[in-house]
Structure 1
Amino acid sequence: MQFDSDYRMLIGGKLETGSASFDVLNPANEQIIGQAPDATPEDLDRAVAAARAAFPAWSALPIEKRREYLNAMAQAILANIDPLKRLLTSEQGKPHADAEADVGGAAFWLMGASSLDLPVVVNEDSDERYSETRRVPLGVVGAIAPWNFPMILAAFKIGPGLLAGNTMVLKPSPFTPLTTLKLGEIIKDILPAGVLNIISGGDNLGPWMTSHPDIDKVSFTGSTATGKKVMQSASATLKRVTLELGGNDPAIVMPDVDVEKVAEQLFWAAFGNNGQICIATKRMYVHKDIYEPLRDAIVAYAKTVKIGDGSEQGTRLGPINNRPQYERVLDLIRDAKEKGYTFLMGGEKSDVPGYFIPVTILDNPPEDSRIVQEEQFGPVLPLLKFDDYDDVVARANATEYGLGGSIWGNDEDKAFEIAKRIQSGTVWVNEVQHLSPTAAFGGMKQSGLGVEGGEEGLLEYTNAQTLVRKKRTAAAA
């Protein structure tokens, strides 16, 4: 099917345009591509009320039935993958192939989440009593998804949230609301009314959600700075929170790697989705014995990668998604220039329309520089030299973040031992950014609170309830 140009919110099973709207831009040319509804507090109240009304019947369904609904949603997404990916490219900027992976990944995540189960733990089964602890849903979940992966990161929340028996109000980023709103159209007649509500809005909508008295949990993916505000707002009513926040992920490259083979992998570890990945490599520590050849190989490969409009054939890297992030990345580059750091390539602002920044690689800047210590979230990478493993592990861990990291080396056992020393929620060996709906993913330090994925991620959407029954025979005795 092809989508029309009307974008409507899904509230209580009905599509609504809302009383106001805002423009959505294509970051590749800064042209308006659509208008999304700008939800009011009253719209949010109605969405929450619809979710609350749907909760008793949804939570009472057998989990097997909720699994069927998730899989039906996944199949509907896959049936519409072509128009969804094209719309996603136009509002997010990523190439069509990456947009298809985002959309398809959402379906994959819903199907993967549907395979999970809620445990029941028997604490005691004696002559005197029976005791078990089971998991029960929280109620209404407020889900806030980011602009870098609008579809799959929404599915991170939809899948376990609904499987656990909760109902949901989902808010996409105001920079990328259109594909998520079309998702609402696609699933409108699949789910019971009110189980999943999708509303869009500007910067005020998020705080309205986090402070709403009838939302029981907030699941947020975004920056650490905003995550702190979410936690503060949610504390007023003791909402449960899951926060997947920023990262400054280190990669440590051992001297025994095959330089030519690993250069391309390391490039994409840092520059996939134009660096706009929370678990992208943000700092690359390369052993001194291979620093120069690996540096040169990465730069040589980078020069072969086409940058441009994601809808054009052959494009591998698109623009930065939005102007605020574009300006933040340019500010980091300006700072590095002012400090006199060495640029191996890039560092210049593009002269074409759109939020384009050329691939920028720096040669061994100081450890305390902003470009090393701050999360770029864009196509900028510092290469850093090391010669001692204890030293590089200490440097890798010397950050307020702890989301991900990676170790690269032919000696897999040694690499795995180094991985255990990295203070991050996930550490990969000889790959990066592999996530699974059946494995926990979350951050240490200021990279987040709680996890997504796996049984642990599912339990984030539940309360523990312990039931104790004194046996009649024991009472008689």
Structure 2
Amino acid sequence: MKTITLNKPMGMLIDGEYVQTKKTIPVINPSNEEVIAEVPDASREDLDKAVAAAREAFPAWSSRPTEERAELLMKLADVIEKNKEELTELLMNENGKPLQASQAEMEDSIRWYRAIASQRLEEEILEDSEVHKVVLQYVPLGVVGAIVPWNYPMNLAAWKIAPALLTGNTLVVKPSPNTPLSTLRMAELAKDLFPKGVLNVISGGDDLGPWMTAHEGMDKISFTGSTATGKKVMKSASDNLKRTTLELGGNDAAIVLPDADPKQVVEGLFWAAFANTGQVCVDAKRLYIHEKMYDEVLEEMITYAKTIQVGDPSDPKTGLGPLQNKMQYDKVKELIKETKDSGARIAYEGEIPAGKGYYIPVTIVDNPPEDSRLVQEEPFGPIVPLLKYKDMDEAVQRANHTKYGLAGSVWGKDLELAYDVASRLETGTVWINESQVMQPDFPFGGHKESGIGVEHGKSGLAAFTNSRTVMIKKK
């Protein structure tokens, strides 16, 4: 894969100006481990400037009609679409996501801005009698800090930017230091689109996130990342009672019913587990297969896995790329080694390209113990256990026996049974005969330690507001 060469240093967008810093952070292409760019490492002073700019811009921005804010979000989508080839190339090189998947993420982010721009959070009349009227209003919070992860940098930024701006808030956005390029370039392209200070995008290392969550000038933190980090965000934000939306980790279970056709469900199951090389919070991390069809499903899964090419993201034939960063690469390698050392049977271990790059082979494990790390933890990589079960009560009990509760899926022909099973899963989202279907108007959030709050739809918009009840005595 040919590494891109950036013609100029990347900068940050603060108060309508694109600025650089003396201290920088290298960005590494995970497919070949080459440094492809240097990006600013924001100081605490840089953050203070961004928050102050957002605070100053808030009164005028929040006072603008919703229609005007929506129109600017539509224009942002147009800017991304006009420059989507450049942004897709940046995304593919910084993230390691294959070309088609990078293109799909860019299209999704464009679609998200436009869809959210069309949504409205209208005030509600709760009572209107001859003597009394009660109105429920939704008012913006103020300055929102958006902390975006490295697995879907453009799309998950849109999940935060669009509803926050539409509801009248101003923003300070921090992309992951592993994948800041596409977001910083988007900010540069949109520099003159919004009033100064409305949208600020800053990059930085491990200190920047905690500075944001503790900053007294922030009114809300919208965070997507691990459960461990989410707990730290919540603790830090509690100092001044910041609002928080936390979309955190998952250990999602897929349950295959006894009547499922292995040949029909295997493709959906494979991508439910291995999409984005296993680096999706809602990837299926545990596949529970009824014992009467377990062997056939395992065989079909291996047969399908052999058709998927792992390698150069720029090759149109590539289905899965590398892991995004060395830290995650080392974690998954260690987990695979521990799984092998434990005596668990590796049913399939695929091929990876020779040379550099954070590549891990597609790995399928045959019925490991329920208390193994592979089953109990979130691998966030291309390794998945297939597990036998005898009856539905057992499958549901095992699926729910986790601190996580993000999503899950059920696969089978009997839709009534599938719906019954889905209704018993302790998760925020359950798919039946599909996986990872997300839409701007479908609420998404986790149960248990998979998060707090909801994104998307009316609930997602409301999460960026405070409610205000106005009561009028007419007589």
Could you tell me the TM-score, scaled by structure 2's length?
0.97
Provide the secondary structure at the position in 2 that maps to 1:431: coil
The Cα offsets for residues 279-307 of structure 1, whole Å up to 9 and x where unpaired, read as 00100001112111110111111111111
Does residue 449 of the first structure (1) align with residue 452 of the second (2)?
Answer: yes
The one-letter code sitting in structure 1 at the alignment partner of 2:320 is L
Partner residue in 1 for 2:49: 46
Provide the secondary structure at the position in 2 that maps to 1:432: coil
* Aligned equivalent of 2:363, options 360, 375, 392: 360
Residue 128 of structure 1: how far off its partner (Å): 2.6
Residue 348 of structure 1: how far off its partner (Å): 9.0
* Aligned equivalent of 1:26, options 22, 25, 29: 29
The one-letter code sitting in structure 1 at the alignment partner of 2:459 is E
The one-letter code sitting in structure 2 at the alignment partner of 1:195 is V
Partner residue in 2 for 1:250: 253
Partner residue in 1 for 2:193: 190
Residue 345 of structure 1: how far off its partner (Å): 1.4
> Counterparts of 1:120 and 1:204 in 2: how far apart (Å)?
39
Partner residue in 2 for 1:89: 92
> Counterparts of 1:308 and 1:172 in 2: how far apart (Å)?
25
The Cα offsets for residues 192-213 of structure 1, whole Å up to 9 and x where unpaired, read as 1111100000000000000000
The one-letter code sitting in structure 2 at the alignment partner of 1:60 is S
Residue 153 of structure 1: how far off its partner (Å): 0.4
Provide the secondary structure at the position in 1 that maps to 2:237: helix
Contact 1:350 1:358 in 2 (8 A): no
The Cα offsets for residues 438-466 of structure 1, whole Å up to 9 and x where unpaired, read as 11100000000001101001000000111
* Aligned equivalent of 1:399, options 398, 402, 405: 402
Provide the secondary structure at the position in 2 that maps to 1:433: coil
Specify every segment of 5 or more residues in structure 2 that has no aligned partner in the other structure, as ranges: none
Report the CA distance shift for 1:153/1:54 in structure 2 as closer, same or farther (over 3 A): same
Residue 124 of structure 1: how far off its partner (Å): 2.4
* Aligned equivalent of 2:124, options 121, 134, 141: 121
> Counterparts of 1:122 and 1:452 in 2: how far apart (Å)?
24
Alignment of 1:145-184 (within 5 A): 145-184=148-187
Provide the secondary structure at the position in 2 that maps to 1:246: coil
Contact 1:67 1:115 in 2 (8 A): yes
Does residue 390 of the first structure (1) align with residue 406 of the second (2)?
Answer: no
Partner residue in 2 for 1:371: 374
Partner residue in 1 for 2:136: 133
* Aligned equivalent of 1:231, options 234, 237, 242: 234
Provide the secondary structure at the position in 2 that maps to 1:441: coil
The one-letter code sitting in structure 1 at the alignment partner of 2:415 is E
Residue 351 of structure 1: how far off its partner (Å): 5.4
> Counterparts of 2:297 and 2:374 in 1: how far apart (Å)?
20
> Counterparts of 1:397 and 1:55 in 2: how far apart (Å)?
43
Does residue 270 of the first structure (1) align with residue 308 of the second (2)?
Answer: no
Contact 1:3 1:83 in 2 (8 A): no
**More displaced, 335-344 or 199-208?**
335-344
The one-letter code sitting in structure 2 at the alignment partner of 1:83 is E
Residue 123 of structure 1: how far off its partner (Å): 2.5
> Counterparts of 1:344 and 1:164 in 2: how far apart (Å)?
50
What RMSD, in angstroms, separates the aligned Cα atoms of the two structures? 1.3
The Cα offsets for residues 328-354 of structure 1, whole Å up to 9 and x where unpaired, read as 111211111121000011289975311
> Counterparts of 1:213 and 1:361 in 2: how far apart (Å)?
47
Report the CA distance shift for 1:434/1:381 in structure 2 as closer, same or farther (over 3 A): same
Contact 1:426 1:442 in 2 (8 A): yes
The Cα offsets for residues 409-438 of structure 1, whole Å up to 9 and x where unpaired, read as 011121111100000000000000001111
Alignment of 1:61-76 (within 5 A): 61-76=64-79
Provide the secondary structure at the position in 2 that maps to 1:22: strand
Partner residue in 1 for 2:344: 341
Partner residue in 2 for 1:438: 441
Contact 1:113 1:159 in 2 (8 A): yes
> Counterparts of 1:427 and 1:131 in 2: how far apart (Å)?
37
Runs of 4+ in 1 over 6 A off after TM superposition: 347-350
> Counterparts of 1:189 and 1:18 in 2: how far apart (Å)?
21
Partner residue in 1 for 2:419: 416
Contact 1:146 1:222 in 2 (8 A): yes
The one-letter code sitting in structure 2 at the alignment partner of 1:341 is A
**More displaced, 127-136 or 38-47?**
127-136
The one-letter code sitting in structure 1 at the alignment partner of 2:152 is F
Alignment of 1:311-350 (within 5 A): 311-346=314-349
> Counterparts of 1:3 and 1:347 in 2: how far apart (Å)?
34
> Counterparts of 2:322 and 2:411 in 1: how far apart (Å)?
29
The Cα offsets for residues 294-331 of structure 1, whole Å up to 9 and x where unpaired, read as 10111111111111121123111100000111111112
Provide the secondary structure at the position in 1 that maps to 2:404: coil
Specify every segment of 5 or more residues in structure 1 that has no aligned partner in the other structure, as ranges: none
Residue 4 of structure 1: how far off its partner (Å): 3.7
Residue 219 of structure 1: how far off its partner (Å): 0.2
Report the CA distance shift for 1:347/1:262 in structure 2 as closer, same or farther (over 3 A): closer
Does residue 79 of the first structure (1) align with residue 85 of the second (2)?
Answer: no
Count of paired positions? 471
Contact 2:277 2:323 in 1 (8 A): yes
Provide the secondary structure at the position in 2 that maps to 1:34: strand
> Counterparts of 2:248 and 2:353 in 1: how far apart (Å)?
29
